[in-house]
């Protein structure tokens, strides 16, 4: 009974959205004494885990297409609990994703789920998996039906809190759900502190009219962040116009940006508006702004200063109302110093500079993001389940990622394709072993050969020096794994061996992405 009260007690408290949902999942797991619980939110045609207990970390990055997962389809098709007999042959979306059976096919197990509804509309699903010889009987099903009401109440509160926050941030029509469906397409995955702090900061800036300059290494997701800024701004109903400055030839740049009138140059057969006009009322996204030719920089500066533009060949000027977001992977300060970028334009664009952290600084986010790429490839290649071997997870965590998320995307797609083309059975769980990833994990900064032991050593990619923090974390991971191996995965014993408090070991393992 006491878990009923846990959810009720939470209702009276203010809790961050993700925390509230996580506590719901944990209460359900305790109440039903089951191995794993998933709380999944409907997002168009897919279900997206928003909280999970007993599932591996990367499960949170997965998106399950309902049409491709018959168990989820059955759950969503009914308002009553759906139970799958232990002998059910329907493929399980969690195959290989359960904490206790990482990378293994699921043992014969009992599973049930129920669809959740908020204000009469389907919101998502709650799934329960029992792993140990125990079954969900009729009483458990009845209990789930009742329990779902409480879960729905908690979700409703969580959503209201979110809407409230959106309202406070001045987004007049706080239709959070409608908004999220757009956000869903450009979702920024990850729970690391650095990322969460940055997202929070950007949500506040989004609401202002300040120009934002997004900087960061190649492949960190600047484009994604730019879209999110626009979606979270008051201009989200208006267009966001993307200009790739690197692809603008100097001769055409002016007409592209500001438009031209008929006859302005040979070939100008009609009046044509430029990107500035197209973005009127909305956001102009100047991507790769560091590549803009100097002559164009001067004209851009004038447009930004006066809020006025002039079509090429026209006499009169036009007023435009645009907010500018710019992005570059260059160090613009250096470009200014070297005379490639105008200092005055730089200052105008970088009123609010935001540095997107490289992937290697986002801890176990790399596993979550990998999870979303695994699911995409699973579906693309028609594989039942695609998983990372534990050693591959370590390799991903230890690698330096000079190409950041874009590189991760390529690494996962390439590894999945390799696995399948080398004859992996697509009807089975396909596990990606480290050699399939092709990461340069054996190269050590000191040039020493890799020591014995199966844990991969930290990477130095493309000669980037290995950071001390990465090296220490890799060493911690290796030591914890060794202790776990020696104690047959007994965490309490491993903690004693390592002279650590058990709860600290769990915390550390989670932070290092081992759990």
CA atoms within 13 A on the CB side of 424: 23
Q: Which residue is nearest to Mg ion (CB)?
A: 223
Binding partner of residue 224 among Mg ion, ligand ATP, none, CB cut-off 5 to 8 Å per kind: ligand ATP
CA atoms within 13 A on the CB side of 410: 9
Residue 483 burial (CB count, 10 A): 20
Are the CB atoms for 24 and 13 separated by under 8 Å?
no
Whole-angstrom distance, CA of residue 123 vs CA of residue 117 = 5
Q: Which two tokens stand for residue 513?
A: 């992405």
Binding partner of residue 54 among ligand ATP, Mg ion, none, CB cut-off 5 to 8 Å per kind: none
Strand residues in 253-407 grouped as ranges (E) = 259-260, 272-273, 283-287, 308-309, 318-319, 323-328, 352-355, 385-388
Q: Can you tell me which of 81, 93, 103, 219 binds ligand ATP, judged by CB under 6 A?
A: 219
Q: Which is nearer to Mg ion, 57 or 230 (CB)?
A: 230
For residues 205 to 244, the per-residue mask of contacts with Mg ion, x marking binding by CB under 5 A and - elsewhere, is: ------------------x---------------------
Q: Which is nearer to Mg ion, 180 or 223 (CB)?
A: 223
Q: Can you tell me which of 223, 271, 277, 433 binds ligand ATP, judged by CB under 6 A?
A: 223
For residues 447 to 486, the per-residue mask of contacts with ligand ATP, x marking binding by CB under 6 A and - elsewhere, is: ----------------------------------------
Q: Can you tell me which of 221, 259, 282, 358 binds ligand ATP, judged by CB under 6 A?
A: 221
Strand residues in 167-280 grouped as ranges (E) = 212-215, 240-244, 259-260, 272-273
Whole-angstrom distance, CA of residue 312 vs CA of residue 387 = 55
Q: Does 291 bind Mg ion (CB under 5 A)?
A: no
* Least distance between Mg ion and beta carbon 453 (Å): 39
Q: Can you tell me which of 224, 278, 301, 482 binds ligand ATP, judged by CB under 6 A?
A: 224
* Least distance between ligand ATP and beta carbon 220 (Å): 4
Residue owning tokens 């959740």: 116
Calculate the alpha carbon distances from 304 to 299, 307, 339, 391, 413 in Å.
9, 5, 21, 51, 42
Whole-angstrom distance, CA of residue 191 vs CA of residue 182 = 20
Q: Does 277 bind ligand ATP (CB under 6 A)?
A: no
Element (H, E) at 109: none
* Least distance between Mg ion and beta carbon 222 (Å): 5
Kind of pairing, strands 283-287 and 323-328?
parallel
Element (H, E) at 130: strand 121-130
Q: Does 65 bind Mg ion (CB under 5 A)?
A: no
Binding partner of residue 220 among Mg ion, ligand ATP, none, CB cut-off 5 to 8 Å per kind: ligand ATP
Q: Which is nearer to ligand ATP, 190 or 274 (CB)?
A: 190
DSSP letter string, 19-72: HHHHHHHHHHHHHHT-SEEEEEEEETTEEEEEEEESB-GGGGG--EEGGG-HHH
* Least distance between ligand ATP and beta carbon 244 (Å): 9
CA atoms within 13 A on the CB side of 322: 32
Calculate the alpha carbon distances from 328 to 194, 212, 312 in Å.
20, 11, 27
Q: Which residue is nearest to ligand ATP (CB)?
A: 221
Element (H, E) at 118: strand 110-118
Which of these ranges, 117-125, 163-171, 218-226, 266-274, lies near ligand ATP under the rule CB under 6 A? 218-226
Q: Which is nearer to ligand ATP, 63 or 236 (CB)?
A: 63
Residue owning tokens 């993700």: 18
For residues 74 to 103, the per-residue mask of contacts with Mg ion, x marking binding by CB under 5 A and - elsewhere, is: ------------------------------
Which of these ranges, 169-177, 221-229, 301-309, 446-454, lies near ligand ATP under the rule CB under 6 A? 221-229
* Least distance between ligand ATP and beta carbon 242 (Å): 11
- Quote the DSSP letter at residue 453: S
Residue 18 burial (CB count, 10 A): 14
Which of these ranges, 25-33, 170-178, 220-228, 271-279, lies near ligand ATP under the rule CB under 6 A? 220-228
Residue owning tokens 């200014």: 336
Binding partner of residue 190 among Mg ion, ligand ATP, none, CB cut-off 5 to 8 Å per kind: ligand ATP
Residue owning tokens 């999220």: 180
Whole-angstrom distance, CA of residue 476 vs CA of residue 494 = 13
For residue 431, the cross-strand partners are 387
Which residues in 314-373 contact ligand ATP (CB under 6 A)?
A: 329, 369, 372
Which residues in 401-420 contact ligand ATP (CB under 6 A)?
A: 405-406, 409
Q: Which is nearer to ligand ATP, 292 or 505 (CB)?
A: 292
Kind of pairing, strands 121-130 and 110-118?
antiparallel
Residue 302 burial (CB count, 10 A): 13
Which of these ranges, 88-96, 109-117, 184-192, 389-397, lies near ligand ATP under the rule CB under 6 A? 184-192
Q: Does 189 bind ligand ATP (CB under 6 A)?
A: yes
Binding partner of residue 369 among ligand ATP, Mg ion, none, CB cut-off 5 to 8 Å per kind: ligand ATP
Binding partner of residue 219 among Mg ion, ligand ATP, none, CB cut-off 5 to 8 Å per kind: ligand ATP
* Least distance between ligand ATP and beta carbon 224 (Å): 5
* Least distance between Mg ion and beta carbon 345 (Å): 19
- Residues lying near Mg ion in the complex (CB under 5 A) are found at 223
- Residues lying near ligand ATP in the complex (CB under 6 A) are found at 188-190, 216, 218-224, 329, 369, 372, 405-406, 409
């Amino acid at each position: 009974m006491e878990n009923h009260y846990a959810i009720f007690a939470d209702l009276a408290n203010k809790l961050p959205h993700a925390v509230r949902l996580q506590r719901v999942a944990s209460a359900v797991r305790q109440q039903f004494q089951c191995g794993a619980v998933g709380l999944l939110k409907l997002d168009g045609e897919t279900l997206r885990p928003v909280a999970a207990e007993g599932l591996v970390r990367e499960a949170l990055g997965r998106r399950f297409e309902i049409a491709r997962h018959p168990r989820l389809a059955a759950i969503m098709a009914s308002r009553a609990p759906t139970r799958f007999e232990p002998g059910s042959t329907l493929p399980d979306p969690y195959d290989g994703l359960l904490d206790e059976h990482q990378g293994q096919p699921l043992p014969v197990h009992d599973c049930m789920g129920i669809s959740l509804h908020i204000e009469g509309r389907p919101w998502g699903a709650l799934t329960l998996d029992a792993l140990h010889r125990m079954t969900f009987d009729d009483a458990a099903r009845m209990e789930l039906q009742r329990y779902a009401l409480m879960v729905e109440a908690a979700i409703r509160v969580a959503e209201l809190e979110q809407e409230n926050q959106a309202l406070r941030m001045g987004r007049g029509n706080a239709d959070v759900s409608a908004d999220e469906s757009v956000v869903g397409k450009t979702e920024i995955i990850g729970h690391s502190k650095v990322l969460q702090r940055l997202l929070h900061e950007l949500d506040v800036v989004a609401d202002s009219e300040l120009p934002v300059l997004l900087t960061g290494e190649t492949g960190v997701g600047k484009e994604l962040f730019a879209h999110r800024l626009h979606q979270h701004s008051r201009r989200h109903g208006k267009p966001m116009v993307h200009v790739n400055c690197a692809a603008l030839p100097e001769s055409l740049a002016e007409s592209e940006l500001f438009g031209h009138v008929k006859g302005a140059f040979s070939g100008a057969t009609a009046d044509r508006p430029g990107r500035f006009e197209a973005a009127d009322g909305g956001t102009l996204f100047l991507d790769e702004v560091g590549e803009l030719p100097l002559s164009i920089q001067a004209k851009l500066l004038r447009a930004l200063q006066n809020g006025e533009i002039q079509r090429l060949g026209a006499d009169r000027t036009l007023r435009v109302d645009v907010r500018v977001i710019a992005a570059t992977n260059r160090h613009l300060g250096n470009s200014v110093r070297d005379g490639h970028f105008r200092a005055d334009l730089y200052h105008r664009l970088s009123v609010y500079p935001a540095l997107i952290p490289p992937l290697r600084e986002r801890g176990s986010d790399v596993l979550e993001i990998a999870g979303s790429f695994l699911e995409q490839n699973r579906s693309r290649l028609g594989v039942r389940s695609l998983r990372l071997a534990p050693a591959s997870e370590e390799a991903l965590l230890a690698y330096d990622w000079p190409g950041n998320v874009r590189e991760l995307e390529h690494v996962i797609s390439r590894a999945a394709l390799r696995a399948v083309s080398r004859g992996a059975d697509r009807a089975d769980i396909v596990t990606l072993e480290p050699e399939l990833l092709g990461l340069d994990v054996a190269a050590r900064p000191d040039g020493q050969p890799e020591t014995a032991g199966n844990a991969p050593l930290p990477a130095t990619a493309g000669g980037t020096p290995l950071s001390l923090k990465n090296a220490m974390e890799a060493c911690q991971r290796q030591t914890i794994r060794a202790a776990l191996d020696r104690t047959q995965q007994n965490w309490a014993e491993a903690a004693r061996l390592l002279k650590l408090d058990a709860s600290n070991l769990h915390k550390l393992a989670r932070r290092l992405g081992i759990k």
